Structure 1
Amino acid sequence: MKRIAILGGGISGLTAAYELEKRRRAGEALDWHLYEASNRLGGILETTRISTPEGEYVLEGGPDGWVSEKPWLRELAIELGLENDILYSKDETRKTWVLVNGQLQAIPDGMRMMVPTDLGALEGSPLFSESAKQAYAREVLISEELKRDAPDADESVASFCTRHFGEDVTRTLAAPLLSGVFGGDVAKLSVRSVMPQFVAMERDYGSLIVALQEKAALRGHRKTQPIFTSLKRGMGSLVDALIAKLPPERLHLQHRAYSLFRVDDRGGSEWTIDMTVGKKRRAEGPFAELIVATSLDAVRELLAPVEAVDMTGLSLGGFLSLTPSEASSAILAAFAWPAELASQFTIPKGFGFLVPPASNASPSEPLALDPGPSLLACTFVDQKFPFRAPSGARVMRAFFGGASADALSRSSDEQVAAAALQQLRAILGPMPDPAHTTVRRWPRSLPQYEVGHLDRMAQLDSFVRRIPGLHLLGNAYRGVGMPDLAREARRIAESLSV
């Protein structure tokens, strides 16, 4: 009987547990247990459903969906029996706005991130200066040069974008887009880690614009898949479906691991976990396999004290320095207005808006939200996905990230909501107080994949493979998106088959 411990009950840990349970029920000699420090499972996936006489509101406390082109979470949802609950973003009305000089300016149609497929769509767009439009036109003309001179080493997102489109586009569009996804600084983020598809396009085509145009020509009139995918009852229903497949006696809440002890014996390796359960302490184990699916800070706290491995003489603590040194925080405020209140204000059509980071703002473009913590982005939820609000009602989600989230970390939920509403009103105009509000905080939840991340992860993987029974799982290593986490969790669980 192979005993396996999973530390962490977020999407990574739950998916690993689900995969192990499938194999246990199929007859494999597996004895797995999952330990979660908090009193709930799901990590940052958390949905609040509010039933009212006019209908149901779905307020997400974490991610509201996933990128459709990554199939692994959809495959998991279907396997869990959620196929009929899968829904897609309303791409027929998709539009994203950027705050420039205190005004919302629309990103032109036909753009993928900061890359246009139609240069004509840029004409007349106030989002881009004439120099930015000229830089876009020039990028097509220097396609062979870009392909020839593509660097062999990793570089920052800012460097990559600037080589293709200049500093204006990098500041105006790339910075807010990438900050909205990763909460990071484009001058530090690794382009090979966070935008590998664009690196591949440069290698094959040189010009990113030419690459997208040729891919569109090959696709012809075939309909493209929607950008985003979600679930009708919210992302929390994925957590509910996973939990429903797992034996309750194997899920241990409020079990906080505070130290690990590893012993090599009889040619094998065993792990013992010291836990706090309420006010009591106890040891769990021994386990032949240990999957650590906690936050990066918890990983360092648990593993750094582990002494040198007997059979190799190498130290684990030193190799943890290869993991991301920085992590961005996020605070999310969700608001809902019933139809009667929603009729008193209007918002632009589309999915929402982005606010360029203050560090990337031009000196001639003072931010309307300065001074004080600035919004990072806002999603117009009911315009992005169906089944998020009753007819005529409205749901919006406002995000604070990075330094702004840190500045608000000690503020009450009421103060966070008030700050978000104040800024929404400054951007969108007067609006009544919402009928429903939720605030969620995710401190240091987004590890920053800085330049050289893939090389560092290769070194870390090589070292961890020398430690029998240890497996690292989470958003600090091989992708921050939920599909990436689900794929990696299943891969690790499959590797532990007897």
Structure 2
Amino acid sequence: MKTIAVVGGGITGLCALYEMERQAKAQNIDAQFILIEKNDYVGGKIHTVTTDEFAMEVGADSIVARHPGVLAMVEELGMAQELVYNETGTSYIHTNGELHGIPLNSTFGIPMSVESLMQSTLLTEAGKERALQDVTTPNTTFTKDDSIGHFLTSCFGDELVTKQIAPVLSGVYSGNLYELSIASTIPYLLDYKKQFGSIIKGFEANREKFEKANDKKFISFKRGLSSFAERVCQSLTKTEVLTNVQLELLEKKGEQYALYLSNCDIRYVDEVVLTTPHDVTRRFFNDDALQPYFDGFRNGSAITLYLGYDVPDAILPADGTGFIVSHNSSLQCNACTWTSRKWKHTSKHEKLLVRLFYKDVHPRYEEFKAMSDAELVRVAMDDIKMSLDVTDEPTICEVTKWIDQMPRYDLAHRKTRDALVDYLAIHYPNVVLAGCSFYGVGVGACMQNGREIATRVISTIS
């Protein structure tokens, strides 16, 4: 009987185990599984904090509904009746003391039609004219390994990218657009440019696909995202789940691996799936030759704050769901989600709940990082006062610091990952990397990666 260990009980590890159990049963494979998770709960960056009034996602707040396999897995787990979808409405950019709506027919701030471009209140007429050159200027030099920032600037000009696209896209991918590759962000834009000669024309040709997915893009659950992670874990009938236990050392022992655990236990296994962040994963190996392979990975940081108020959510702009902050705003946050508006299930009595983001791209980030929770709350309250004119004291505050825990897919990421994978294949066969540090940002991408890795692992033992 083969023994397979999964290290890390986030959504990647959970989905890997779910798929391995399913395939092992279908193929009548005799195997046993172990999950090793350092926290006393599963889910990793999926974690819901609840009070009598509010539900707050301190990590990821939703799953992209159209991501392959997501809704099918929800059905398999019997959670379809628990699903909730995001409320739709206008997203804003805060600039020069005002909220400007991002045109609805856009994605990541990128106009999907000429009409959408012309509707923008953020651009000058000259900026719009420059952006229209996308329609007539072909791509002759860019590949998917190039910078998404340089590519978009080449297509649309600096004004559209700086004022409308960068605030959105930098927020989603937690990095500087000029240090992120096309491949790791929106690779299909280059395909559109190649096939149609224009990004805008590419969107117009695929209008039906985007319109179908546009209204209800994201899902969560009535009891929060944690309920989904917990349900996946509960479905694992052939897995020994170890929580409050850390892997301290992985050592090759003949054809197997010895896993030295923080509870003084040693487990001998045949296959290991490491879903932990790269800076955690590197500590499992006592191998000086391996360590340089981890040096090329980069992490970002973010501080998030929830403020809940005893005032009605109705004070918000009628059609809005939140805003992103531009470079010339007086606000200190990078973005603010009007959570009680976007996700109705997060506020039992329709009270105002907002979530603010302070990221390491902000010039004052190091100052914010050193602040106490109380000091951060005061900064956030000032931002809410300036942006929404809410002067009440919040009834609930929830501060979460994700310090060096946000994977950053810079231009060297894929090359760095592939070199590490090649080294492991030679020196540590049957040790597999998975998770957001290596294979994709977002819950849906991690779910897919976990299940794909499971297929690879099962194929080696079948």
Q: TM-score, normalised by structure 2?
A: 0.91
Q: Work out the CA distance in 1 between the residues paired with 2:67 and 2:280.
A: 28
The question of 1:66 aligning with 2:63 is answered: yes
The question of 1:301 aligning with 2:283 is answered: yes
Question: Cα distance, 1:72 vs. partner?
Answer: 2.8
Residue 430 (structure 2) aligns with: 469
Structure 2, unpaired ranges of 5+ = none
1:89-488 matches, within 5 Å, as 89-91=86-88, 94-123=89-118, 125-142=120-137, 145-146=138-139, 149-152=140-143, 154-216=145-207, 226-246=216-236, 250-263=240-253, 265=254, 269-277=255-263, 282-303=264-285, 305-306=286-287, 315-322=289-296, 324=297, 326-338=298-310, 341-342=311-312, 345-347=315-317, 349-356=319-326, 361=327, 365=328, 367-369=329-331, 374-404=332-362, 406-466=366-426, 467-488=428-449
**How big is each residue's C-alpha offset from its partner over 1:329-376, in whole Å with a ceiling of 9 and x where there is no partner?**
1222122234xx2279444632210113xxxx3xxx4x303xxxx311
Q: Work out the CA distance in 2 between the residues paired with 1:428 and 1:483.
A: 32
Residue 46 (structure 2) aligns with: 45
Q: Work out the CA distance in 2 between the residues paired with 1:188 and 1:220.
A: 27
Q: Work out the CA distance in 1 between the residues paired with 2:37 and 2:307.
A: 29
8 Å contact from structure 2 (residues 36, 246) kept in 1: yes
Structure 1, unpaired ranges of 5+ = 308-314
CA RMSD of aligned residues (A): 2.5
Pick closer, same or farther for the CA change 1:283–1:204 going to 2, 3 Å.
Answer: same
Pick closer, same or farther for the CA change 1:222–1:414 going to 2, 3 Å.
Answer: closer
Q: Work out the CA distance in 1 between the residues paired with 2:194 and 2:143.
A: 10
Paired letter, 2:261: M
Question: Cα distance, 1:289 vs. partner?
Answer: 0.7
SS at match of 2:21: helix
Pick closer, same or farther for the CA change 1:224–1:400 going to 2, 3 Å.
Answer: closer
SS at match of 2:344: coil
Question: Cα distance, 1:241 vs. partner?
Answer: 0.6
Q: Work out the CA distance in 1 between the residues paired with 2:210 and 2:17.
A: 42
8 Å contact from structure 2 (residues 103, 119) kept in 1: no
Question: Cα distance, 1:410 vs. partner?
Answer: 3.9
The total of aligned residue pairs comes to 455
Q: Work out the CA distance in 2 between the residues paired with 1:344 and 1:205.
A: 43
**How big is each residue's C-alpha offset from its partner over 1:475-495, in whole Å with a ceiling of 9 and x where there is no partner?**
111211111111111111222
**How big is each residue's C-alpha offset from its partner over 1:32-52, in whole Å with a ceiling of 9 and x where there is no partner?**
111112222211111123335
Q: Work out the CA distance in 2 between the residues paired with 1:249 and 1:484.
A: 23
Pick closer, same or farther for the CA change 1:153–1:33 going to 2, 3 Å.
Answer: closer
Pick closer, same or farther for the CA change 1:249–1:200 going to 2, 3 Å.
Answer: closer
Question: Cα distance, 1:455 vs. partner?
Answer: 3.7
SS at match of 2:184: helix
Pick closer, same or farther for the CA change 1:273–1:346 going to 2, 3 Å.
Answer: same
8 Å contact from structure 1 (residues 86, 229) kept in 2: yes
- Percent identity over the alignment is 24
8 Å contact from structure 1 (residues 98, 355) kept in 2: yes
Q: Work out the CA distance in 1 between the residues paired with 2:224 and 2:210.
A: 33
8 Å contact from structure 1 (residues 46, 62) kept in 2: yes
8 Å contact from structure 2 (residues 113, 201) kept in 1: no
Pick closer, same or farther for the CA change 1:179–1:152 going to 2, 3 Å.
Answer: closer
Paired letter, 1:297: D
SS at match of 1:487: helix
Paired letter, 2:126: S
Pick closer, same or farther for the CA change 1:334–1:124 going to 2, 3 Å.
Answer: same
Paired letter, 1:13: G
**How big is each residue's C-alpha offset from its partner over 1:105-159, in whole Å with a ceiling of 9 and x where there is no partner?**
11122112232233234446431122221122222122xx23xx14246211210
Pick which of 480-489 and 152-161 moved more.
152-161
